[in-house]
């Protein structure tokens, strides 16, 4: 099983974005904020970094994988859209949320500008969970790929390939394996100890509560 929860921020100013994320980590996680560097992304979704039950993300890994965009791996599923709204207004940039899980083929892409969600598509459990906002000009109608056999009623799927193609149209590569120059900058609020994957500090405390979203069901929460 492979999991993705990330922001794609259309900016050339990575340091300003890092400052904004540090402030958010301090507010969401409480206490001091840790920062450091990682050479690769192998530890982004282990227990030291990712808290599947957090209501607000407070762990991030920031890197430039391609021109004009900064990738931010986020250590939570909940609250990422709200964070994208806030960053889009604070930094006056476009922010795209990309989330998914390969095994269950559940995907979310949402586009945020000026604290507004321009478009939000979310496909899970073989059906559309969300289609909100005005479709972009590049979108097919209906959205997705018809996987029904000839002669049968059309059935439109939105899986990994479709999510990748959608984000390519937005101008960036979803789930790139390119390592950023200078490595990743990790940011974590409210948890002391080793960097992700580097020790036994463990993850931030879970917010608990009942499952509310498709990703919690998929992760067994």
Q: Which two tokens stand for residue 117?
A: 């969600």
Specify if 95 maps to a domain: yes
3-state secondary structure of 161: helix
Specify if 110 maps to a domain: yes
Task: pLDDT band for 220, please (50, 70, 90 cuts).
Answer: very low
Q: Does residue 105 have a pLDDT over 50?
A: yes
* pTM score, whole prediction: 0.86
Specify if 167 maps to a domain: no
DSSP state of 37: E
Specify if 81 maps to a domain: yes
Q: Which carries the bigger pLDDT value, residue 190 or residue 115? A: 115
CB 60 within 8 A of CB 73: yes
Average pLDDT, the chain: 86
Specify if 144 maps to a domain: no
Specify if 25 maps to a domain: yes
Specify if 196 maps to a domain: no
Specify if 107 maps to a domain: yes
Contacts of 177 (CB under 8 A, 6+ apart): none
The number of distinct structural domains making up the chain is 1
Per-residue model confidence (pLDDT) at position 104: 76
Domain of residue 102 covers 3-119+172-191
Of 97, 159, 161, whose CA–CA distance to 133 is shortest?
97
């Amino acid at each position: 099983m492979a999991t993705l929860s990330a922001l794609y921020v259309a900016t050339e100013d990575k340091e300003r974005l890092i400052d904004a994320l540090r402030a958010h980590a301090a507010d969401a996680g409480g206490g001091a904020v840790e920062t450091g560097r990682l050479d690769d992304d192998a530890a982004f979704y282990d227990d030291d970094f990712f808290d599947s039950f957090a209501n607000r993300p407070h762990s991030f890994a920031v890197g430039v994988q391609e021109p004009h965009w900064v990738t931010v791996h986020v250590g939570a599923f909940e609250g990422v859209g709200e964070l994208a709204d806030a960053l889009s207004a604070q930094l006056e940039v476009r922010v795209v949320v990309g989330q998914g899980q390969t095994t269950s083929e559940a995907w979310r892409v949402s586009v945020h500008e000026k604290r507004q969600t321009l478009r939000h598509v979310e496909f899970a459990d073989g059906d559309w969970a969300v289609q909100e906002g005005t479709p972009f000009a590049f979108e097919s109608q209906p959205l997705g790929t018809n996987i029904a056999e000839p002669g049968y009623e059309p059935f439109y799927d939105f899986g990994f390939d479709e999510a990748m193609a959608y984000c390519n149209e937005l101008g960036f590569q979803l789930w790139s394996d390119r390592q950023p120059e200078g490595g990743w900058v990790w940011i974590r609020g409210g948890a002391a100890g080793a960097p992700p994957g580097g020790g036994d500090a463990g993850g931030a405390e879970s917010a608990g509560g009942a499952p509310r979203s498709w990703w919690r069901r998929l992760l067994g929460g």
